[in-house]
Amino acid sequence: MELNTTASWPRATGRHLLEVALDASTVTEIKAYAVGARFLVPQARTILDIGGQDSKAISLHESGRVLKFEMNDRCAAGTGKFLEVMARALGFPIEEFGIQALKAKKDIQISSMCTVFAESEVTSLLAKGEDRLDIALGLHRSVVRRASGMVKRVSVEGPIVFAGGVARNPCMHHLLEEALQSDILVPESPQMVGALGAALLAVDGK
């Protein structure tokens, strides 16, 4: 029997498949981040999460309810993966990338946010003799332009919580505060904010 792979099936995410497989309720990561951030910073009104594979900006009501969010999960642009690839192209360990970028003497404009094209641009700049520290700063600024634009489209009301593994990058933290003209709060374990929120929701039976 031939399997008809062109049949119209409702699009399902892993979350929805898990609900069926385990007969259990699930929550969106947006809600999980909102709950986790408010637990850590009760006055939080805006959340920026930049992880390895996606980024998101969330605005919250003073009660903690999600008002609006914007998410980039279509490509690596503006994510930790982008920074990881660029760090490797410049010969930096990812843990040192942000620290080294802060030592730059000048800012170099990076025109492409596509990981493949940006990597080619980095190679070209190195061939022209540009300092890799300056290129590193330019790459960080390109990510910040994208992230800060996303935040501004949802809200810039503080306190702003910076979550996700990229929040550990000191250059990203510094440049975001500069771009948003606001203090950016980074939790002790920023990469665990969503997991914390999911755990709290599970405890509450929500």
Per the DSSP assignment, residues forming a β-bridge with 59 are 46, 68
Per the DSSP assignment, residues forming a β-bridge with 72 are 55
Chain segment 151-194, per-residue pLDDT in tens = 999 988 889 999 999 999 999 999 999 999 999 999 999 999 99
pLDDT band (50, 70, 90) for residue 24: low
> What pLDDT was estimated at residue 52?
87
Strand 55-60 relative to strand 184-185: parallel, antiparallel, unpaired? unpaired
Top-tier CATH class for 44-203: alpha beta
Chain segment 64-112, per-residue pLDDT in tens = 999 999 998 667 778 899 999 999 999 999 999 999 999 999 989 888 7
Look up residue 159 and give its DSSP letter: S
Encoded amino acid at 55, one letter: S
Q: What is the mean pLDDT of the chain?
A: 88
H-state helical runs in 23-93: 29-40, 80-90
Per the DSSP assignment, residues forming a β-bridge with 50 are 55
Crossing angle (nearest 10°) for helices 132-154 and 170-180: 50
Chain segment 103-125, per-residue pLDDT in tens = 999 989 888 778 888 889 999 99
